[in-house]
């Protein structure tokens, strides 16, 4: 009786259909191997699982969900030809799943898993970089929506870089693939950031959540951290291959061919700006052409940059504000605002920079790097915004407090925030100095452009 009850619960939980049509013996085997898997007794689960997989492959999705666990255990605990056989069988299992349970087997996700498994075992399988890249490329192009695994995106690009270095791929193919994957990462970061922001208040602090929503938030944070890591790794991997010495001749050569291609122009001006090539006359040509063909928030921002370089600050600010107004997505608006703020920061116009960083935070409460940038400006101004040595160094407490906000609202910034806090606190007055000054608990008003107050720590 207990066995039948467990069997019924298992079938209901796993979503089996047409229960009455299945033989009791088949369901009993399903129950047996499922219980073995749950207790991690994969060796005992293998035989009944294989029998069901062979005779009734459409019985239940557990055949594929639990079967994957069984084969992964076999792969981990085998070597040589035996390991190769299990790897090939796992690849076959995913193919069978896509046939028998296509609705719960996203094509891009599972082709990416298969490609990654082949890559991770490339020496054992004897796969060439050309074939491995072709596998990832097929997975990406067949269903980009569900090709979301951060590790696989990085592997995909790494293979492209290797093929470029061996002269199997052209520079244009390399840069196009970099843009493809960077845009994919940006899309996923936007997706998970927007989901995360739904759980934040106006100050970027997490609201009180249910256990289920806490689990969701943890998942969103995990994905954002992973995407942040691979975005940096992809930039590092690209390295000097995309410096101005390489980009400018390439874009100059191809400009006439692609000057009516909005996507090419967009990517070219973005890449040149990102790599610091905006002093080159070609950057001006591309921006003006893109603005004439398809004006958007980015072209308005870049025109602002050009006006700033020409010394026309008033016109530059008008273009910057136009860039913000043209962008309808809050997430994309925050990126434009951040760029504007950073442009002012580089010029030492800290008050304007802070104003735009705060606007960026309003558009995207999770953008912790804004707080780190504001903290850095406070620290840089410490010697100019105090009346004596103590009050000047007290500015570092303000900087540390600002940096701490970054770690609280943005999980990807915790490590950088901690380093900044430690650095600023080391430069602020220490306990012995606070004691000797007699200013413990005193509120110090910080002047100049900062216009904030900071409280001396109590001993």
Q: Where are the domains of the chain?
A: 1-105, 367-459
Which runs of consecutive H residues, i.e. helices, occur in 275-413? Answer: 281-293, 297-309, 313-326, 330-346, 350-363, 368-380, 389-409
Q: Are 331 and 193 in contact (CB under 8 A)?
A: yes
Give the model's confidence band at 204: pLDDT under 50 very low, under 70 low, under 90 confident, else very high.
Answer: confident
CA–chain centroid gap for 418, Å, is 20
Asked if residues 429 and 393 have their Cβ atoms less than 8 Å apart, the reply is: yes
Residues of the chain with pLDDT > 90, as a percent, come to 87
What are the tokens at 440? 């413990």
Give CA separation, 456 vs 97, 262, 342, 433, 445, in Å.
63, 55, 30, 11, 11
Instruction: Count the neighbouring beta carbons within 10 Å of the beta carbon of residue 129.
Output: 16
In the predicted model, what is the mean pLDDT of residues 48-57?
Answer: 94
Lowest-confidence segment of 202-206, 246-250, 370-374 by average pLDDT: 202-206
Residue 325 Cα distances to 83, 88, 193, 353, 362, angstroms: 58, 54, 21, 18, 15
CB 115, CB 136: distance < 8 Å: yes
> Helix 330-346 crosses helix 368-380 at what angle (to 10 degrees)?
10
Gap between the Cα atoms of 393 and 371, Å rounded:
19
Interhelix angle for 107-120 vs 80-100, to 10°? 170
Q: What is the mean pLDDT of residues 226-236?
A: 94
Return the CA Rg of the chain.
28
DSSP string of 174-189, one letter each residue: HHHHHHHHHHHHHHHH
Do residues 223 and 192 touch, judged by C-beta distance below 8 A?
A: yes
- pLDDT at res. 16: 46
pLDDT at 28: 87
Dist CA 299 CA 303 (whole Å): 6
Give the residue carrying structure tokens 């809050």.
Answer: 330
Residue 6 has pLDDT above 70, yes or no: no
User: What pLDDT was estimated at residue 132?
Assistant: 98
What percentage of the chain reaches a pLDDT higher than 70? 95
Contacts 24+ apart (CB under 8 A), 195-202: 195/220, 196/220, 196/221, 196/224, 196/366, 197/364, 197/365, 197/366, 200/365, 200/366, 200/409, 201/365, 202/365
What pLDDT does 2 receive? 43
Instruction: Report in angstroms the alpha-carbon separations of 150 from 53, 197, 384, 426.
Output: 31, 21, 44, 36
pLDDT of 83 over the 90 cut: yes
Distance CA 220, CA 216 (A): 6
- Residue 228, pLDDT > 50, answer yes
Segment 45-63 shows an average pLDDT of 94
Half-sphere exposure of 378 (CA within 13 A, CB side): 33
**What confidence tier does 202 reach under pLDDT thresholds 50, 70, 90?**
confident
Q: What is the mean pLDDT of residues 429-450?
A: 92
Torsion on CA atoms 274, 271, 193, 365, rounded to nearest 10: 30
Q: How confident is the model at residue 11 (pLDDT cuts 50, 70, 90)?
A: low
Q: What is the pLDDT of residue 17?
A: 47
pLDDT of 10 strictly over 70: no
Total number of residues shown for the chain: 459
| pLDDT, tens digit, 9 for 90 and up, residues 317-363 | 999 999 999 999 999 999 999 999 999 999 999 999 999 999 999 99
């Amino acid at each position: 009786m207990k066995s039948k009850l467990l069997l019924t619960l298992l079938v209901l939980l796993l979503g089996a259909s047409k229960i009455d049509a299945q033989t009791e013996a088949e369901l009993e085997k399903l129950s047996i191997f499922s219980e073995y898997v749950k207790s991690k007794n994969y060796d005992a689960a293998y035989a009944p699982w294989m029998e069901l997989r062979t005779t009734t492959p459409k019985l239940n999705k557990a055949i594929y969900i639990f079967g994957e666990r069984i084969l992964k255990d076999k792969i981990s605990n085998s070597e040589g030809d035996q390991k190769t056989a299990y790897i090939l069988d796992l690849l076959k299992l995913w193919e069978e799943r896509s046939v028998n349970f296509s609705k719960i087997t996203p094509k891009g996700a599972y082709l990416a898993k298969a490609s990654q498994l082949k890559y991770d075992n490339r020496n054992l399988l004897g796969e060439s970089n050309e074939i491995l890249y072709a596998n990832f490329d097929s997975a990406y192009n067949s269903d980009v929506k569900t090709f979301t695994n951060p590790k696989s995106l990085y592997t995909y690009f790494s293979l492209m870089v290797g093929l470029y270095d061996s002269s199997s791929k052209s520079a244009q193919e390399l840069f196009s693939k970099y843009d493809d994957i960077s845009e994919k990462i940006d899309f996923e970061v936007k997706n998970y950031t927007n989901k995360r922001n739904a759980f934040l208040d106006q100050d970027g602090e997490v609201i009180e959540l249910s256990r289920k929503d806490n689990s969701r938030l943890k998942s969103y944070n995990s994905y954002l951290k992973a995407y942040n890591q691979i975005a940096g790794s992809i930039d590092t991997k690209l390295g000097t291959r995309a410096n101005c010495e390489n980009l400018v001749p390439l874009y100059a050569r191809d400009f006439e061919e692609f000057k009516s291609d909005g996507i090419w122009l967009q990517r070219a001006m973005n890449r040149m700006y990102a790599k610091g090539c905006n002093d080159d006359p070609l950057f001006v040509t591309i921006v003006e052409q893109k603005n004439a063909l398809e004006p958007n928030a980015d072209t308005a921002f870049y025109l602002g940059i050009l006006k700033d370089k020409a010394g026309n600050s008033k016109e530059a600010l008008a273009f910057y504000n136009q860039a913000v107004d043209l962008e309808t997505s809050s997430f994309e608006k925050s990126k434009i605002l951040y760029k504007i703020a950073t442009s002012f920061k580089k010029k030492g116009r800290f008050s304007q920079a802070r104003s735009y960083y705060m606007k960026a935070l309003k558009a995207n409460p999770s953008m912790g790097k804004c707080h780190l940038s504001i903290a850095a400006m406070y620290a840089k101004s410490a010697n100019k915004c105090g009346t004596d040595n103590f009050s000047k160094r007290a500015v570092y407490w303000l900087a540390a407090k600002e940096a701490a906000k970054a770690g609280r609202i943005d999980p990807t910034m915790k490590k950088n925030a901690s380093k900044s806090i430690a650095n600023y606190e080391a430069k602020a007055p220490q306990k012995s100095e606070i004691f000797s000054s007699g200013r413990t608990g005193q509120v110090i008003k910080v002047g100049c452009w900062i216009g904030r107050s900071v409280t001396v720590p109590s001993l």
